[in-house]
Amino acid sequence: MKILRNKDLDAAFMVFDRMVQDGIDPNAATYTTLINGLCTEGRVDEALGMLEEMIVKGIEPTVYTYTVPVSSLCAVGREKEAVDLVVSMRKRGCEPNVQTYTALISGLSQSGHLEVAIGLYHNMLRKGLLPTMITFNVLINELCGARKVGNAFRIFRWMEAHGYVPNTITCNALIHGLCLIGDIERAMVLLTEMLKVGPAPTVITYNTLINGYLQRGFLDNAVRLLDLMKNNGCKPDEWTYAELVSGFCKRGKLDSASALFQEMIKHGLSPNQVNYTALIDGLSKEGKVDDALALLKRMEESGCSPGIETYNAIINGLSKQNRLLEAERLCNKIAESGLLPNVITYSTLIDGLCRNGGTHLAFKIFHDMQRRNCTPNLYTYSSLIYGLCLEGQADSAESLLREMEKKGLTPDYVTYTSLIDGFVALSRLDHAFLLLRQMVDKGCEPNYRTYGVLLKGLQQECQLISGEVAIQHETVYSSTGSKKDVSFELLCTLLDRMSEIGCEPNTGTYCTLVLGLSREGKTAEADQLIKHMREKGFSPTSAVNCSLIVSYCKNLKMDAAMEIFDSLILQGFRPPLSIYQSLICALCRKSRLKEVEVLFENMLGKQWNSDEIVWTILIDGLLKERESELCMKLLHVMESKSCTISFQTYVILARELSKLDG
Q: Please report which confidence band the pLDDT of residue 74 belongs to, taking 50, 70 and 90 as the band edges.
A: confident
Model's pTM, two decimal places? 0.83
Percentage of residues of the chain with pLDDT beyond 70: 95
Indicate whether 497 belongs to any domain: no
From first CA to last CA, the distance across the chain in angstroms is 75
- The answer to whether residues 179 and 81 belong to one domain is no
Per DSSP, the residues of 462-529 read HHHHHHHHHHHHTS----SS-HHHHHHHHHHHHHHHHHHTT----HHHHHHHHHHHHHTT-HHHHHHH
Q: Based on the domain organization, do 137 and 118 belong to the same domain?
A: no
Query: Taking Cα atoms as reference points, which of 31, 39, 85, 35 lies closest to residue 58?
Result: 31
Specify whether 89 is located in the same domain as 197: no
Q: Tell me which of 236, 266, 296 is where a domain ends.
A: 236
644 φ, ψ (degrees, to nearest 5)? -85, 110
**Residue 467 binned pLDDT confidence (cut-offs 50, 70, 90):** low
Tell whether the model's pLDDT for residue 110 goes beyond 90: no
Q: Which residues of 48-176 form beta strands (DSSP E)?
A: none
Q: Do 114 and 230 belong together in one domain?
A: no
Average pLDDT over residues 505-516: 94
pLDDT tens readout for residues 281-314: 999 989 999 999 999 999 999 999 999 999 999 9
Query: pLDDT by residue (tens digit) across 383-407?
Result: 999 999 999 999 999 999 999 999 9
Q: Is 597 exposed, middle or buried (0-12, 13-18, 19+ CB in 10 A)?
A: middle
In the predicted model, is pLDDT for residue 193 greater than 90?
A: yes
Position 324 confidence tier, pLDDT thresholds 50, 70, 90: confident
Is residue 481 one of the residues assigned to a domain?
Answer: no
**Could you tell me if residue 230 is inside a domain?**
yes
Which of 173, 208, 236 is the last residue before a domain boundary?
236
What's the pLDDT at 573? 92
| Residue 395 within a domain | no
**Per-residue pLDDT at 9 exceeds 80:** no
Are 139 and 118 part of one and the same domain? no
CATH number, residue 163: 1.25.40.10
pLDDT at 466: 63
- Indicate if 32 and 61 belong to the same structural domain: yes
Strands (E), 257-413: none
Are both 150 and 231 inside the same structural domain? yes
Whether residue 160 sits in one domain with residue 66: no
Region 14-37: mean pLDDT is 79
Mean per-residue pLDDT, 26-51 = 87
**591 pLDDT exceeds 50?**
yes
> Do residues 318 and 326 touch, judged by C-beta distance below 8 A?
yes
- For residues 8 and 117, state if they share a domain: yes
Q: Is 559 inside any structural domain?
A: no
What pLDDT was estimated at residue 322? Answer: 84
The full length of the chain comes to 662
In whole angstroms, what is the distance from residue 596 CA to residue 585 CA? 8
If asked whether residues 29 and 117 sit together in one domain, one would say yes
Q: Is residue 190 part of a domain?
A: yes
Per-residue HEC secondary structure of 141-201 comes to: HHHHHCCCHHHHHHHHHHHHHCCCCCCHHHHHHHHHHHHHCCCHHHHHHHHHHHHHHCCCC
Provide, rounded to the nearest whole percent, the portion of the chain with pLDDT above 90. 67
Residue 303 within any structural domain of the chain = no
421 falls in which pLDDT band (50, 70, 90)? very high
What pLDDT does 3 receive?
43
For residues 273 and 79, what is the distance between their CA atoms, to the nearest angstrom? 35
pLDDT value for 139: 93
Overall domain count for the chain: 3
- For the cut 50, the answer to whether the pLDDT of residue 6 exceeds it is no
- Average pLDDT score over the chain: 90
Could you give the angle at which helices 523-535 and 542-554 cross, rounded to 10 degrees? 150
Domain encompassing residue 647: 576-661
Burial of 552 (0-12, 13-18, 19+ CB in 10 A): buried
pLDDT tens digits, residue range 341-359?
899 999 988 998 898 888 9
296 within some domain: no
The set of residues, in sequence order, having a beta carbon less than 8 Å from that of 125 and lying 6+ positions away, is 131
Residues 151 and 101 grouped into a single domain: no
Average pLDDT over residues 146-169: 94
Q: What is the pLDDT of residue 253?
A: 93
The yes-or-no verdict on residue 380 having pLDDT over 90 is: yes
pLDDT at 1: 47
DSSP, collapsed to helix, strand or coil, labels residue 590 as coil
Domain boundary, last residue among 211, 236, 261: 236
Averaged over 429-440, what is the pLDDT? 96
Q: Which residue has the higher pLDDT, 502 or 77?
A: 502
Q: Is the pLDDT of residue 274 over 70?
A: yes
26 band by pLDDT with thresholds 50, 70 and 90: confident
**468-506 residues labelled b (16+ CB within 10 A) or e (exposed):** eeeeeeeeeeeeeeeeeeebbebbebbbebbeeeebebe
pLDDT at residue 329, rounded to an integer: 87
Same domain, 109 and 159: no
pLDDT digits (tens, 9 = 90+) for 443-454: 999 999 999 999
Does residue 17 sit in helix, strand or coil? Answer: helix
